[in-house]
Amino acid sequence: MHAATLTPSPTWRDPKRWAWLLSALFPGLVWLNLARFEHSGNVLWLFVVAVVVYGLIPLLDALLGEDRANPPPEALAALEHDPWYRNLVLLFIPLQFGLFIHGSQLAVTHAGEPWVWLGLILSVGGINGVAINTAHELGHKHPNWERWLARVALAPVAYGHFYVEHNRGHHRRVATFDDPASSRLGESLYRFLPRTVWGSLRSAWALETGRLELQGHSRWSWRNECLQAWAMTLLLWGGLVLSLGWVLLPFLLMQALYGISLLEVVNYLEHYGLKREVDARGRPVKVQPEHSWNSNHRVSNLFLFHLQRHSDHHAHPSRRYQALRHFEQAPQLPSGYAGMLLLAYCPPLWFAVMDRRVLAHYDGDVNRANVQPGSRWAGIVQTL
């Protein structure tokens, strides 16, 4: 590739270039709250992240609105190859681990103090949940060392099999009835959670078993990427428990469960009710922008490495976050992910807001949607 190809366009510069620091520094900002708590003893510092995620970011999304602008085609190559953006993703991980280790120390120091533990779970577990998105960004890239760092970022929440299932399972089956990470019309978050957690685990194990058997290896081989990822968690958690004591183990489990729940609620809203048509051979058609819910709300995107431009991600999984584009034909969420979390936690509100959007997307034809068996929509499908 010629050097000129990698030279930024003289007529366009990324207006969000410096704003992406919000994604990279998010764990560092939360880590500062732990330091403030340790210095002042005021437990309220540990709840700042929850106020920001569930209150401030949705409010700013509503006030600042959307950014549907795309980088011009001639700037994409330079934008993709600019090391600034990859370095921001890499910066997230040492800050994440610094927060995780410091939070673990505080959990042991304040064992038996429920409000401190709750604040630490929200702070540490919350960032480790956001780190799954950082792992998602790294895990799709071609350099092997980036994919290994993805598994490192997943270690604090013991969810390393996500790397296997997401890349080789979800991206193949997305917006189909068989995908454990694609929620269905009429399916509540609380019915989705056990299905996606257990289904993703089973799928990841089956994918690795199949891959290794084709190569003539046992599923219990050290080559099993699920076992490799879980071994990282065992080493990390084991080292912390040996250093700080067994009292830490319940905290590690609770912060992991909260972090996992953040990932899975995002999975819930990304493809809700959307379904790929089947072709003449009975196979799902190629993934298109209309098979993912998008959001261009500015602030949530700046905290999540552009995760909300989900349609372009599924079309081009290896494309780096800064170059992801908006598509007009993609269905749009009414808020950023932070605001949508609150709706998902309350199924009646979620159904009231989202079901009509799914139907509008399919011109009122519920047969075209991915419908949850046993829901009221399933009864309508059966009578049509």
**DSSP of 317-343, one letter per residue?**
TTS-GGG----TTS-B-SS-HHHHHHH
Mean pLDDT of the chain: 93
pLDDT digits (tens, 9 = 90+) for 64-78: 999 999 999 999 889
3 state DSSP class of 148: helix
- Tokens for 184? 């269905």
284: three-class secondary structure by DSSP: strand
Which residues are within 8 A (CB) of 269 and not within 5 positions of it... i.e. 6 or more apart? 183, 293, 333, 337, 340, 341, 344
Taking phi over 0 as left and psi of -120 to 50 as alpha, with beta for the rest, 374 belongs to: left
> For position 135, what pLDDT does the model report?
93
Match 């250093």 to its residue by tokens.
243
- pLDDT (tens digit per residue) in 147-195: 999 999 999 999 999 999 999 999 999 999 999 999 999 999 999 999 9
Long-range contacts, 142-145 (Cβ 8 Å, 24+): 142/318
Confidence of residue 282 (pLDDT cuts 50, 70, 90): confident
Q: What pLDDT score was predicted for residue 383?
A: 57
The confidence band for 264, taking pLDDT boundaries of 50, 70 and 90, is very high
pLDDT at 186: 96
Q: What ranges make up the beta strands (E) of 241-321?
A: none
pLDDT above 90 coverage of the chain, percent: 88
Amino acid letter, residue 101:
I
